[in-house]
């Protein structure tokens, strides 16, 4: 049977891999840029979509170009709070009732903001939307799950002056250090700030991430930061296998204790393995996939983003999500960047349902994996109760639209 857009929009959903600075409203970006004196290549929505935030990109570099504009307007607490608040409501309106929004605080600290300032500002915006939704008729009268959120702090494999004036300041204070060692220092500093924000400020920082270019910037360089958050029971997700081979995913799991993998697209790409110690790349890739499957290490799949940053994939039907479904891996569909990828959570599900002919059972599993494998900011018992309520809601909505649970 056809799984309709009406169904996909109505179902409770998650987004576990979404960047705040890639998910602004265009109108807000323009308004903030005018207020702050930031130059944009166009002052119209249509112009920005033509020149910067496109339907498709030539490569990852072009895809990342838009972040120079979004991060430029997010160096003030008021702007961060506003964007977080609007982001929350954009998700609530499509029944995305749980999000884990990630961002790199160090990209927003060039104008005097501290780590605590950045975390507080984002939490204020998200928390305000959470409180408003909790008092809405959808929750109080129609039984919708309350909106909940967690924050994931992103460390960066590397920095550039274009994106981080703060990092340039750090480099100047560590004149004897090479850039690679400073990247690791920055990650450890962020790890400590993230744990402090959770434990001392009461902010729902639920995870730690590593983002940025994989090639030439190995994850193992950041192992001290990830060991610190691991020792303090902060969960870990790592961008890996997006633009590099299976070794990157292996390193994320073994060196950084990753609980989830961001993208993981090249898990099934043994031809990209370059390490000479791996004598049989195909066997290595198979063993890694089996390990991930057995340990239920969830893959945060971002179909549209992958197609945009890696045009060689071609059509959506060629995406490795087909293999993920066939291998019955734990995976959830995510947007990556709502603005830069010109997508929503509902759009991602529609894309997957249509391209891979997902059954009702597969759809239900993928949606529920998102809730079960979340880094929920509460006790395990609270998480179980929340997930149970979401599952009940899912089944009522699906049944009401005539969708059976089985395949």
In the prediction, which pLDDT does 174 show?
60
Fold (CATH) for 5-400 = TIM Barrel (3.20.20)
Residue 242 bears catalytic tag: yes
- Domain borders along the chain are 5-400
In this predicted model, what pLDDT tens digit does every residue of 77-94 receive, in sequence order?
A: 999 999 999 999 999 999
In the prediction, which pLDDT does 59 show?
84
In the prediction, which pLDDT does 355 show?
96
Among positive and negative, which fits the CA dihedral 384, 386, 392, 395?
A: negative
In the prediction, which pLDDT does 171 show?
60
Q: Which are the contacts of 157, defined by CB distance < 8 A and separation ≥ 6? A: 183, 210, 211, 212, 213, 214, 217, 219, 221, 222
Which ranges in 5-114 belong to alpha helices (H)? 5-10, 26-36, 45-51, 60-65, 67-72, 77-92
Rounded to whole angstroms, the Cα distance separating 81 from 77 reads 6
| Regions of the chain with pLDDT less than 50 | 407
Query: How far from chain centre, in Å, is Cα 24?
Result: 14
Q: Annotate 355-400 with DSSP letters as a single string.
A: HHT--HHHHHHHHHHHHHTS--SS-HHHHHHHHHHHHHHHHHHHHH
Task: Answer whether 395's CB lies under 8 Å from 368's CB.
Answer: no
In this predicted model, what pLDDT tens digit does every residue of 243-257 receive, in sequence order?
A: 788 999 999 999 999
In the prediction, which pLDDT does 217 show?
82
Task: Answer whether 99's CB lies under 8 Å from 15's CB.
Answer: yes
Catalytic pick among 242, 247, 300, 348: 242
Cα end-to-end distance, the chain, whole Å: 10
Q: Which two tokens stand for residue 247?
A: 């070794």
In the prediction, which pLDDT does 276 show?
85
In the prediction, which pLDDT does 152 show?
98
In the prediction, which pLDDT does 177 show?
61
In the prediction, which pLDDT does 163 show?
56
User: CA angle, corner 281, sides to 247 and 296, nearest 5?
Assistant: 55
Q: Which two tokens stand for residue 146?
A: 């309350």
In the prediction, which pLDDT does 407 show?
47
């Amino acid at each position: 049977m056809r799984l309709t857009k009406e169904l996909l929009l109505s179902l409770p959903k998650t987004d576990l891999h979404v960047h705040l600075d890639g998910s602004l409203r265009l109108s807000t970006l323009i308004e903030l840029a005018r207020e702050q004196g930031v130059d944009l290549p166009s002052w119209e929505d249509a112009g920005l979509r033509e020149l910067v935030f496109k339907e498709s990109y030539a490569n990852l570099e072009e895809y990342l170009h838009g972040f120079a504009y979004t991060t430029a307007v997010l160096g003030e607490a008021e702007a961060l709070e506003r964007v977080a608040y609007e982001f929350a409501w954009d998700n609530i309106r499509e029944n995305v009732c749980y999000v884990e929004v990630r961002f790199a605080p160090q990209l927003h600290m060039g104008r005097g903001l501290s780590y605590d300032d950045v975390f507080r500002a984002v939490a204020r915006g998200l928390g305000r939307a959470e409180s408003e939704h909790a008092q809405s008729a959808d929750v109080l009268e129609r039984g919708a799950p309350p909106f909940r959120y967690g924050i994931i702090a992103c460390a960066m494999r590397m920095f550039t002056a274009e994106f981080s004036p703060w990092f340039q300041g750090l480099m100047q204070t560590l004149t004897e250090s090479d850039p690679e060692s400073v990247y690791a220092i920055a990650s450890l500093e962020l790890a400590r700030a993230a744990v402090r924000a959770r434990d001392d400020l009461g902010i729902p920082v639920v995870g730690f991430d590593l983002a940025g270019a994989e090639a030439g910037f190995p994850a193992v360089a950041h192992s001290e930061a990830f060991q610190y958050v691991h020792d303090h029971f902060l969960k870990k997700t790592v961008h890996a296998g997006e633009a590099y081979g299976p070794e990157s995913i292996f390193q994320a799991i073994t060196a950084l204790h990753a609980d989830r993998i961001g993208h993981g697209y090249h898990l099934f790409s043994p031809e990209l393995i370059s390490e000479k110690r791996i004598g049989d790349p195909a066997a290595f890739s198979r063993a890694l996939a089996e390990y991930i499957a057995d340990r239920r290490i969830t893959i945060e799949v971002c179909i549209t983003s992958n197609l945009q940053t890696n045009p060689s994939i071609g059509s959506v039907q060629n995406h490795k999500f087909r293999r993920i479904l066939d291998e019955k891996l734990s995976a959830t569909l995510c947007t990556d960047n709502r603005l830069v990828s010109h997508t929503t959570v509902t759009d991602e599900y529609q894309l997957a349902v249509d391209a891979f002919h997902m059954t009702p059972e597969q759809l239900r599993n993928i949606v529920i994996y998102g809730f079960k494998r979340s880094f929920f900011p509460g006790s395990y018992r609270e998480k179980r109760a929340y997930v149970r309520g979401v599952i009940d809601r899912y089944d009522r909505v699906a049944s009401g639209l005539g969708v059976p649970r089985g395949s």
